[in-house]
Amino acid sequence: MKAKKHLFFDPERCTGCQLCELACSQVNAGEYNPDLSIIRLMSHPDLGTNLLCIQSRPCICGDGPESCTEICNVGAIRFVDDEEVPSMLKDRRWLAAPVVD
């Protein structure tokens, strides 16, 4: 979980490729293993779409570039500041990513 940033994702654009999980596990654990990723791809229980979640442990990317957003070639992930959260919540394309343990 990034300090002072909130993860949003676009379920229409997300293809389920898992590249974000692989990139995250590489920066966090030094290996390509989705089980070691902080960002987690799941299935939305109601919408039947992909659902991105984020674990509550700290993101190693800190304030720098996010490996997950950089590798997502369809622009389905965004981390936003507190100030941008209200506008993201009004935009129906974006869903707030749940925080999971």
Q: List residues near ligand SF4 by CB under 6 A.
A: 2, 9, 14-20, 23-24, 27-28, 38-39, 41, 52, 54, 59-61, 66-68, 71-72, 74, 76-77
| CB closer to ligand SF4 out of 41 and 95 | 41
**Shortest CA distance to 50 belongs to which of 60, 40, 42?**
42
| CB closer to ligand SF4 out of 46 and 56 | 56
Q: Take residue 26 and report the two structure tokens written for it.
A: 């590489």
| CB closer to ligand SF4 out of 61 and 95 | 61
State the nearest-atom distance from the C-beta of 76 to ligand SF4, in Å: 4
Q: Are 5 and 79 in contact (CB under 8 A)?
A: yes
What are the E-state strand segments in the chain?
A: 6-9, 39-43, 50-55, 77-80, 95-96, 99-100
